[in-house]
Structure 1
């Protein structure tokens, strides 16, 4: 694994490409967003024909994964009725699968340095596409 301490444009673009390749395999039309440690957009790509909500939901999923330092799939049950974080969803927080935080460092120095969000397919497709993007981050 290569060590990176920030999400740059080059790796973010490669992550988007990986997510879009996975979406093509899944038969989905998606939007993909990569954000930095502050939740600010680094890059965004939308497949032709992808749903109109993608430009809002994909960056929202990426931001949410950074803000909570967990995948949005793992956050979803916590934000559902009866969950510890019920009521969290709304405004900038998107609490269903497709957002993955990007980690850097090791041990006590490990921290979230960005996130990826995918929207447009089923939740399972969005998660698979986001995981394809995150694997680019992990392997370089």
Structure 2
């Protein structure tokens, strides 16, 4: 039998706090979502001024990154390179940059999804949150 690491509430709070700090430092109004390795929502935080739609997009980006065990930008790039049939992939709705998996020892522990500013800035916030774990 194998053991696997899992995110605990203290980890989720650490990620959320660091992601929020990165967003606030840059004056970005975003929604931050954190999911477990199965894409199940553990945390959702909508900062003041974040668009309402971002509360749907951020969890979708996180879900996609967790299940795919890669950044959601990979899927955006595939589609932008002409493989539009990928839009029909089942259970994947957040195929935009801004979803980043949390990887540790070759395993995905979950992911962070951010929405509300430019996609590259969303990813910057997600990565800042994950960096707080010091894996």
TM range (shorter): 0.7 to 0.9
Q: Which residue of 2 aligns with 1:19?
A: 19
Alignment of 1:44-59 (within 5 A): 44-59=44-59
CA RMSD of aligned residues (A): 2.1
Tell me by how many angstroms 1:127 deviates.
Answer: 1.1
In the superposition, the TM-score normalised over structure 2's length comes to: 0.87
Tell me by how many angstroms 1:45 deviates.
Answer: 0.9
Alignment of 1:35-50 (within 5 A): 35-50=35-50
| Aligned mate of 2:120, from 104, 121, 124 | 124
Tell me by how many angstroms 1:93 deviates.
Answer: 1.9
In the superposition, the TM-score normalised over structure 1's length comes to: 0.84
Q: Which residue of 1 aligns with 2:94?
A: 94
Alignment of 1:53-92 (within 5 A): 53-80=53-80, 82-83=82-83, 86-88=86-88, 92=92
Decide whether the 8 Å contact of 1:65 with 1:71 is kept in 2.
yes
> Mind listing any 5+ residue stretches in structure 2 that lack a counterpart?
none
